[in-house]
Amino acid sequence: MPQMAGVFVVNPERAWGTPETIDLIELAVNETLALFPGSPDVIIGDISKRHGGPLPPHRSHRSGRDVDFSYFPKIPLPSHFFTKMTPITLDVERTWHFLETLLLTDRVQYIFIDRSLQKPLYEYVQMGYSKERLSQWFQYPRSASTRQGVIRHVAGHSNHIHVRFKCPETDDRCVP
């Protein structure tokens, strides 16, 4: 992950992504900064090791297609670490714009977000999209045990967003 305005990479040795992954990160960050100048940095945690392979403690993050991002807080935080968000502390508008930019590329396979944070995001966008589109994107308001929607609940994702990108279109060896 190259250095760029609006991004703080926690550990560069664990932040290697496919060219398409890096391009999509840059797109979402740049689009969000353009609409919300002065935004706090997007914190990027783990992506992958330089040549892939197991990246403890993750079960994923092996191929450069999984990225851990911070949420946007309503009030900028003093640290460059993931911080637990609540519906009250989450900047819904900024976070949604970042996610929407990624979703509209049709290159996202999954987004893991704590269910408590899916609700305010869903309520924020429900007037702007059809119920069918919302059903494709959000697991909420269905049960957290259903495996439907791109945005899904997985425990441990109240302090960061996990995005899994689809296999790059140019990689015929990638396994979805």
For residue 170, give Cα distances in angstroms to 89, 163, 176.
39, 20, 13
Which candidate, 171, 176, 19, 27, places its Cα nearest to that of 109? Answer: 176
Q: Tell me, rounded to whole angstroms, the distance of Cα 37 from its chain centroid.
A: 20
> Is residue 176 in some structural domain?
no
**Residue 28 belongs to what domain range?**
7-116+154-165
> Is residue 49 in some structural domain?
yes
| Per-residue tokens: 34 | 């353009």
pTM, rounded to two decimals: 0.93
Q: How far apart are CA 84 and CA 66, in angstroms?
A: 20
Place of tokens 């279109």: 169
- Whether the pLDDT of residue 90 is over 90: the answer is yes
Q: For residue 141, is the peptide bond before it cis, meaning its omega torsion is within 30 degrees of 0?
A: yes
Indicate the burial class of 159 (C-beta count within 10 angstroms; 0-12, 13-18, 19 or more): middle
> Is residue 146 in some structural domain?
no
Q: Convert the pLDDT of each residue in 30-50 to its tens digit.
A: 999 999 999 999 999 999 989
- Whether the pLDDT of residue 151 is over 90: the answer is yes
In sign, the C-alpha dihedral spanning 72, 73, 74, 75 is: negative
> Is residue 126 in some structural domain?
no
The CATH number linked to 101 is 3.30.1380.10
* Strand bridging mode 108-112 / 151-152: parallel
pLDDT band (50, 70, 90) for residue 170: confident
> Is residue 59 in some structural domain?
yes
User: Given this model, what pLDDT does residue 57 score?
Assistant: 78
Which candidate, 123, 125, 112, places its Cα nearest to that of 152? Answer: 112
Tally of domains in the chain: 1
> Is residue 145 in some structural domain?
no
> Is residue 140 in some structural domain?
no
Q: How far apart are CA 127 and CA 134, in angstroms?
A: 10
| Per-residue tokens: 148 | 């439907």
Indicate the burial class of 52 (C-beta count within 10 angstroms; 0-12, 13-18, 19 or more): middle
